[in-house]
Amino acid sequence: MPETVQEIIDLLPEHFDPEAWGDSDAKIAFDVSGEGGGQWLIKIIGGMLSIDEGTIQGADMTVNVSAADLMAIVRGDLNAVGAFMTGKVKVSGDVALAMKLQALLGV
C-alpha cells in the first residue's frame, strides 16, 4: 500500500492495463495540494503510460485534490464518488476520463 502521493504516482505504470484502458489517448493532470502534494501529467498515448512531474499544461482532464484526500481514497477510507460529490475532488475537462481513472488508481 503506497504511503505517499509520490508512491501512488510511481506505481501507476505498474497498474496500467492497456487492454482495459482501450484505444483512447488521454492526458490527465493531477494538481495535488497540501503536504506531499505536487503536479503531475499522466499521458496515455498509443497504449503507453508516461508521467511528467511539475507540469499540468495541455491536459484533457484535471483532477484537483488534497494529498490527504487522495491518500484516503487510495486506502479505501474515502469513497471517490462521494469525495467528488462533496467537492473534495474537483474534476475539469473530459469528465468521462474520471471513470477510467478510478480503475487505473484501483479505487
CATH number at residue 19: 3.30.1050.10
Decide: pTM greater than 0.85.
yes
> For the chain, what is the mean pLDDT?
90
State the residue range of the domain holding 25.
5-105
* Among 30, 2, 35, residue whose Cα is nearest residue 91: 30
Q: For residue 68, how many other CB atoms are within 10 A of its CB?
A: 17
How far does the chain reach from its first CA to its final CA, in angstroms? 12
> How many domains in the chain?
1
Question: Residue 26 pLDDT > 80, yes or no?
Answer: yes
Question: Residue 27 pLDDT > 90, yes or no?
Answer: yes
- What pLDDT score does 107 carry? 43
Which residue type does 18 have? P
Residue 85, classified by CB atoms within 10 Å of its CB into exposed (0-12), middle (13-18) or buried (19+), is exposed
